[in-house]
Structure 1
Amino acid sequence: MRILAIGAHPDDIELQCAGTLALYKKQGHDVFMAVATNGDMGNFDVPPAELALVREAEFKEACFVIGAAPIWMGYPDEKLENTLANRMAFVDMIRSVDPDLVMTHGPNDYHPDHRYTHQLVWDALPLAGVGSLKTAHPATSRQVTLYFMDNVGGIGFQPTEFVDITETIDAKKAALAKHASQLRIFRQLMDVDLLDVVETMGKFRGYQAGSRYAEGFTKVEAWYRGLSRRLLPESAGTSTFDYKMERGGAQ
């Protein structure tokens, strides 16, 4: 399969679904990571033009860790809008991948860039398959299935499906660690360790999923987008239940 994750900022994908993407790649699927904005407003002590170059380089390094192909859209940070021109750019970007499955932000995430990315993806996906609507790339060859990835901190998000990322949690952390400029500013301004956020959220969703670490998703149920089979990857790891049974049962 061809898997496309679309985030608003550099590091959004790594925070929310990189474990699942690494698992897809490990299982032989083609993985693509697209970022809408250039992250140039993220650090108060680095000029925006300089920071955009830093954030792009960090993003590409993170993609290399996952084994994903990077797509850098380059919109200004904090200024993304749901315009027709931007929608058509998203249509063409999606067509360039021709994915089986897309992951992006949900509609109630905390940041406007996240919510506008959500809306642009939602509006672009049906158009990506309309052959009479011309862009630089041909229409998608299938109706694309859409999943929403977790909100930051899991706030206001109720997963309908989980992926056991126990075997790829280290890859997820390694990819996020490439975003050194973002990790630094979160520690400096908010006393937040983003690597600890990944660890904590992974365990939290893992408790819900019955595994050591997990990521949560909501599959979009909309006309002509449903499937009777699961597209999220199954892990070869040991579940909490199996782990206990191997040792003679829970005490």
Structure 2
Amino acid sequence: MCNLYLNVVTGKSIITAVKKTLLSIFAHSDDELAAIGTIANHAKRGDRIIMACMTPGTRTSFLDGTDEEKRAARTKQAEEVAKLVGAEARCLDFEDTAIYPSREASLKVAELIREIKPTIIITWNQLWATGPGHPDHRYTSVIVLDAVSYARFKIPEISLPPYREIISLYLAPGLPTSPFPLCYVDISTQEKLIRQFTSIYEKMYGPWQALNLKLASSAVNGFSLGCELAESFNVIQRGSSEAKYLD
């Protein structure tokens, strides 16, 4: 059986009374489609959800207008999605198509981590195909991984105190070729929400092929695991386990 939540080793999902704080950090405000079913599972369980994007995405080819008009439109999209899921929306205001790993960039994300104090972080995996392999996506992954470490250190540029809890860290989508373990989450109950999610973007983008791709990939994952729909992740580290046994 697939797990309904992250942070479960394997086998049947175990619901805990201790609520989690899940922080998703993707490059652009529509990127969270990679993990939206899992994010919705956690929101339904009662976990606190923060959906952060690195940039307002003013270089998008889906929208016309000035940078400020695009910023306003995409901010509205992000807020609608957050309301749909039951999450908080945040934007770190990096320049679109100019995200690049640096100490300064990771410190900015580390400051957010110190503020939020997440127990779980989801971010982009290292993808290379055109579309998902947008450089902003890959570099966001690197920046976030470094930020998790910087959040633990005493660094004078960050006024908030270090956050030294071990964070469960997941990369989406999971890649079978990755050196990191692969895990799956059952999102079979979230198809309606996924369709609602994509409809928010289609109001501005027009028809969006991402919905078909999402449902197809989720069905493949689900078929392999004995459930209808599933999302995949590579596991960098787990901060805690809600199970005492492997199976």
The TM-score bracket by the shorter chain reads 0.7 to 0.9
Partner SS for 1:50: helix
How far is 1:102 from its partner? 0.5
Larger mean CA deviation between 19-28 and 73-82 belongs to 73-82
Aligned to 1:31: 49
User: Where does 1:1-251 land on structure 2 (aligned, <5 Å)?
Assistant: 1-13=20-32, 15-43=33-61, 45-109=64-128, 110-133=133-156, 135-150=158-173, 160-180=182-202, 183-184=205-206, 187=207, 193-220=209-236, 225-226=237-238, 229=241
Change (3 A) 1:126 1:54: same
- Kindly tell me: are residues 198 and 159 of structure 1, through their superposed partners in 2, closer, same or farther at Cα, counting changes over 3 Å? farther
What is the rounded CA distance, in whole Å, between the counterparts of 1:108 and 1:52 in structure 2?
A: 25
Name which structure has the greater RCO, CA cutoff 8 Å, separation 6+: 2
8 Å contact kept, 1:7–1:114: yes
Relative to the length of structure 1, the TM-score reads 0.79
Report the CA distance between 1:182 and its aligned residue: 6.0
Residues 156/16 of structure 1: CA separation in 2 closer, same or farther (3 Å cut):
farther
Taking the aligned partners of 2:35 and 2:140, their CA distance within structure 1 comes to 16
Q: Deviations along 1:126-156, whole A, 9 cap, x unmatched?
A: 11122455514322251112100117xx796
Question: Can you list the C-alpha shifts for 1:218-239, whole angstroms capped at 9, x where unaligned?
Answer: 101xxxx4456269xxxxxxxx
The percentage of counterpart residues that share the same residue type is 24
Distance 1:144 1:228 in 2: 8
| Corresponding position of 2:12 | none
Question: What is the rounded CA distance, in whole Å, between the counterparts of 2:145 and 2:108 in structure 1?
Answer: 13
Partner of 1:238: none
The one-letter amino acid of 2:126's match is P
- Residues 200/179 of structure 1: CA separation in 2 closer, same or farther (3 Å cut): same
Gap runs ≥5 in structure 2: 1-19
Question: CA offset at residue 123 of structure 1?
Answer: 0.7
Relative to the length of structure 2, the TM-score reads 0.80
Secondary structure, counterpart of 2:224 in structure 1: helix
The one-letter code of the counterpart of 1:180 is E
Bigger helix fraction: 1
For residues 131 and 182 of structure 1, the distance between their equivalents in structure 2, rounded to whole angstroms, comes to 43
